[in-house]
A and B are shown apart, each in its own frame.
Chain A
């Protein structure tokens, strides 16, 4: 099979055949506020370290729009199935970030206002991204799907670690919900990534470069480096087997073996 260029990506009608985007959109999970049982944190507060990591996760989830921006300026935005997915994905992420924020607020004096600080996002990168990605065209979709897949794997693992570390029943219940949403999203990202990477050599090459260059998790740039450091130090450095398992999973993406992304991100 020849390697495809932009036009021939059109033939990939159903790279995630079992995933019904319309159904996903219909079942989208909105606000979690009713199920957070915030009073449980008043009785059994989380440690300062866990709160610090939850804040980091919130910021990373909240950076969706920044990530979406770099995705939408490329040919990826033309695929209506993918934009329908991303629309709902962004909506679910918004409410995940909101849940994390509410949990933090439950540790503050009643009436503390939410953080409305502007996000940090370098602008010049978007312009370059737009120019480069539009020259590349269709294969960029594969790259974005691969980025999405790796990020979901990493953040799902992070949430599970947080749950184990905190040992807080209510937090674990909320995290179970968050993880189930992310796993559902993965049912789209992963087959899309695998299929599209298999189809295009150019996509495999660019994805490899991109994955290696990306500061993990996606959205890390929205936070000071010290917070990302803390995230990896607390959750992944003590869990070498998990890091190895995640890297082994990334190795199974077509053309992406040997990257050791998570080990490098955790500085192990």
Chain B
């Protein structure tokens, strides 16, 4: 199914939460473990602009549709960060721009070299590299949808659940874009399939694991994806990915969750 970029851009909005009763958090505050997970998700959402950078240094952005999508996607994710920051704020946890900055500064040289590496790879490999970004994005967005919905189910907090489902709904539109792009590009090129398989197998990790402390990754992934129910979700994610052209048999999500000690 084709992805209608005009429809997507013209209906892209910042996620709304003004209509939700945040006073509910005063009477029914969220537990510490949930706030910790939300903090992680909030940071990762704000960090999207850094992923955007990695995408931009490759030939991906030269295509008008991809560029249009990235503009909207980056903004929607920023607003997810703002929405989650508002929930944290209602619990006295202040997420401010200066603090986000210092966590980006901490990433140091690895972070500085990333765009160079991406740029070199992307420009040497050319168009097929776009396919890698697209399947990577799809895997991340699928994970995000699953994580938000699952946290909504687990927490059963009326206000939080509603907000998380709104966010998940937007993430699902991102999935549609990335998955459509990935499927088309992988189907067209054997080389793209080989590259994507290699990249996912060797370098993919749970969303946020490249920027957050491993202890935080373990907490969040364990919080959201442990147990039998969680495992079912994890396997669903792997199924989505392995149904892509040339990616059959990949179990990257289950493997990486195990690496972070997430137990069924």
Query: Which residue numbers of A lie inside 8 Å of B, CB to CB?
Result: 10, 13, 21-22, 25-26, 28, 30-31, 33, 62, 64-66, 68-69, 72-73, 77-81, 83-84, 86-88, 90-91, 94, 98, 115-121, 123-124, 126-127, 130-131, 134
User: A94-B68, A127-B120 in contact; A72/B101 too (CB < 8 A)?
Assistant: no
Contact assessment for B56 and A80 in the assembled complex, using a CB-CB cutoff below 8 Å: no
Contact assessment for B75 and A88 in the assembled complex, using a CB-CB cutoff below 8 Å: yes
Across-interface contacts of B78 in A (CB, < 8 A): 25, 84, 87-88
What 5 new A-B contacts, CB under 8 Å, besides A72-B53, A72-B56?
A: A26-B14, A64-B71, A65-B70, A73-B116, A121-B61
14 contacts between A and B (CB under 8 A): A10-B105, A21-B97, A28-B14, A62-B64, A62-B67, A72-B115, A73-B57, A78-B101, A78-B105, A80-B101, A86-B49, A87-B74, A91-B71, A130-B116
Across-interface contacts of B9 in A (CB, < 8 A): 31, 94, 98
Interface presence of B162 (CB below 8 A) = no
Query: Which residue numbers of B lie inside 8 Å of A, CB to CB?
Result: 9-10, 12-14, 46, 49-50, 52-53, 56-57, 59, 61-65, 67-68, 70-72, 74-75, 78-79, 82, 97-98, 100-102, 104-105, 112, 115-116, 119-120, 122-123
Which residue of A is nearest B104, CB measured? A78
From A62, A80, A94, contact of B97 by CB (8 A): A80
User: How distant is A100 from chain B, measured CB to nearest CB, in Å?
Assistant: 14
Across-interface contacts of A64 in B (CB, < 8 A): 71
Which residue of B is nearest A31, CB measured? B10
Which residue of A is nearest B120, CB measured? A127
User: How distant is B46 from chain A, measured CB to nearest CB, in Å?
Assistant: 6
Main secondary structure of the interface of A (DSSP, over half): helix
Which residue of A is nearest B57, CB measured? A126
Give bound CA distance, A72 to B114, whole Å.
12
User: How distant is A228 from chain B, measured CB to nearest CB, in Å?
Assistant: 20
Across-interface contacts of A124 in B (CB, < 8 A): 123
Across-interface contacts of A115 in B (CB, < 8 A): 64
Across-interface contacts of B74 in A (CB, < 8 A): 87, 90
Contact assessment for B50 and A77 in the assembled complex, using a CB-CB cutoff below 8 Å: yes
Give bound CA distance, A178 to B262, whole Å.
51
Across-interface contacts of A65 in B (CB, < 8 A): 56, 61, 67, 70-71
Across-interface contacts of A121 in B (CB, < 8 A): 61-62
Contact assessment for B49 and A72 in the assembled complex, using a CB-CB cutoff below 8 Å: yes
Give bound CA distance, A90 to B102, whole Å.
24
